[in-house]
Structure 1
Amino acid sequence: MYFFLSVAGGLGLLVGGLLVMRAGLRRVFSPALAGLLGRLTMTPWRGLLAGAAGAALMQSSTALTLMTVGLVSAECLSFRQGLGLVLGANIGTCSTVGLLALDPPRQALVPLLAASVLAAVLSRRLRSGALALSGMAAMLTGVQLLSGALAGLSEADTVVRWLAAAGCNPVAGIGGGVLLTFLFQSSSAATGLLMALAGEGTIGLTAAAYGVYGNNIGSCLSSLIVGAAAPLAAKRVAMAHILLNLAGVLVFLPFTALFVQAASLVADDFSARVAAMHTLFNLVSSLAVLPFAGAFASLVALLVPGRNGGA
């Protein structure tokens, strides 16, 4: 019963949070702020840099991607502007692997949600901003509830044993990486565990590479859920995030041996090599798409068709 309540509550917070954040953002974004955000994301390169900086500062590509979906949903950004932020978020999240100690306290989300709701109720001046903040906090709390429910189904040590036994089995390795991301609510935190396991010799570098692939696929869960309830342009942002990571895995998978060798050239110890693989995967995936951002956006629009392009 607890599992089903957690899943239902998590989904409700994710979808409801998106609607609340969209309403707040539409009110809080003055023409001047909207103009500044538009200039920051005017070109794919600018959007990538802004997204990378934002994900690095927030220490969460998931949070930035959810915020981007909210901004596009509120029509503060177009789909193509949001696409640049998503490409940058994948790069910015690489900083988290080296700064895992700065991971924000998870227990702070519920007080933040309660405080922002209270501010929205009591203060007319702060209402719009508090609505946007409470929507974002609700979405992240929903992610945690879903992750906690999944954690009840499969403990981390079980997944670790699965990864250790995976060897060169890509299906088991990628599946283990996806589950780790669900459990830790963060692809970077899951990569941090892979670093520790590789450093201890529990898993090999090939298994760690498959785990990195799975971590990036698992990070798309929130986009998949939120995108299902979002307007057309925001659906396309969510699809772009999913497609970017899936395409990256499909391209990297046949060259995993070369990928592992390249990481070995960059770093000496096993832990650093896993961090290098995480960074290389996200850098190459985003930078490879950037010159073809227009074609990539057209492909996403083809996969998520609709009258209003939101581009």
Structure 2
Amino acid sequence: MATLVFPLLAGFGLFLGGMHFMRLGLFALAGDSLHRWLVRFTKTPMRGMITGTLVTMLVQSSSAVSVVTIGLANARLLSFPQTVGIILGTNIGTTFTTQLIALNPQKLALPMFLIGCSVLWLRSQVVRAIGMSMSGFGCVFLGIQMMQVAAEPLQHTPFFLSALARPDSHYFNGIFLGAMFTALLHSSSAVTAMTMGFMKEKILSLGMGIAIVLGSNVGTCITAIMAAVGGNAAAKQVAWVHVMLNVAGVLVFFPFIQPFAVLVSWLTGDPALQIAHAQTLFNVISSLLALPFAHAIARMAQHYIKG
């Protein structure tokens, strides 16, 4: 257990700490512009989706953008219908992190961490923000390396063998565990990165890896729900629409996981890229399918969710 638990916890700690530092640096670079962009460029669902995608790519966190959106809706700086497009955009923007991880730039992890740390003592706030982002980025990939070390002994544990690794394991197990771990960690990127490590070690089928990624999309909603607690009606509507859209996307894709896995395997033979492409295709298709119904979704939420 020691060979499993310690590398896994250390890897998670480095990954989540790296994501936190990278996010702090990127937020420092964006400044108050983040709020202005969300208020100014979200007049229609399409513009909101594009803005949500770009802002999420910039700050590397769909949960952070969702929380900011809920705060703006709670302060009545954004109307609730404006936020539906942003939510769809955050689901697309978060795939940028996964694609970045799939490029596997582990060789740059330690140099980026050391360079980033070396400039944190300078006076320039911009340089310090860039250094914080670089050191965080390095920590993310150092954490991924440690989680991959933990993947080897994990495949021999009874729980893993019975729940995920057996050929007859149900995809629902993957969705449930993906949602649960993401809710606990507040990071779908961490769960997706761990899944990539399992895929690289060939201890998960592609279908099960996709199921875990689908579950992570549901689990990431917990942050939005917590942010909406005690908020006004608009804040609660944003949170529950986030849940509804992500759950609906998983329900639509669930019966087609196996054909979807075949499609993804045609695109690339690299296991990590297969998971990255699967997440990207799922989120882009789900958001584009929901976009024409954005106003109807907003009206339905306003009808059923009162202050």
Give the stretch that moved more between structures: 239-248 or 294-303.
Answer: 294-303
Q: Percent identity?
A: 38
**Unpaired segments ≥5 residues, structure 2:** 1-31, 114-152
TM-score w.r.t. length of structure 2: 0.67
Spell out, residue by residue over 1:1-24, the C-alpha distance to the aligned partner (whole angstroms, 9 max, x if none): xxxxxxxxxxxxxxxxxxxxxxxx
C-alpha distance 65-35 of structure 1, shift in aligned 2 (>3 A): closer
| Match in the other structure for 2:130 | none
Letter in 2 for 1:170: Y
Q: Measure, in 2, the Cα distance between the counterparts of 1:262 and 1:36.
A: 36
| Residues 226/63 of structure 1: CA separation in 2 closer, same or farther (3 Å cut) | same
Name the structure 2 match of 1:9: none
Deviations 1:134-189 (A, max 9, x none): xxxxxxxxxxxxxxxxxxxxxx9577554334854122111111133135431122
AA aligned to 1:190 is: V
Aligned length: 225
After TM superposition, the structure 1 = structure 2 runs for residues 194-209 of structure 1, keeping only pairs within 5 Å, are 194-209=195-210
Q: What SS does the aligned partner of 2:76 have? A: coil
Residue 98 (structure 1) shift: 2.5
TM-score (structure 1 length as normaliser): 0.66
- Change in CA separation of 1:303 and 1:166 when aligned onto 2, cut-off 3 Å: farther
Change (3 A) 1:60 1:246: same
Tell me which residue corresponds to 1:43.
44
Asked whether the 8 Å contact 1:167–1:203 carries over to 2, the reply is: no
Task: Please name the residue that 1:186 is paired with.
Answer: 187
Q: Is the 8 Å Cα contact of residues 38 and 51 (structure 2) preserved in structure 1?
A: no
**Other structure's SS at 1:99 match:** helix
1:57/1:166 CA distance change after superposition, 3 Å: farther
Which segments of 5 or more consecutive residues in structure 1 lack a partner in the other structure?
Answer: 1-28, 106-155, 307-311
Conserved? CA contact 1:51–1:88, under 8 Å: yes
Which 10-residue stretch deviates more, 184-193 or 215-224? 184-193
> 2:259, 2:67 → 1: CA distance?
33
Give RMSD over aligned pairs: 2.7
String of CA shifts for 1:36-84, please: whole Å, max 9, x gaps. 6543001111111110011111101001001100110011111111111
* Contact 1:69/1:237, CA 8 A, preserved across alignment: yes
- Are residues 228 and 206 of structure 1, via their aligned partners in 2, closer, same or farther at CA, if it must alter by over 3 Å? same
Letter in 1 for 2:256: F
**Cα distance between partner residues in 2 of 1:38 and 1:55:** 15
Asked if the contact 1:167/1:204 (under 8 Å) is kept, the reply is: no
Indicate the SS of the match to 1:201: coil
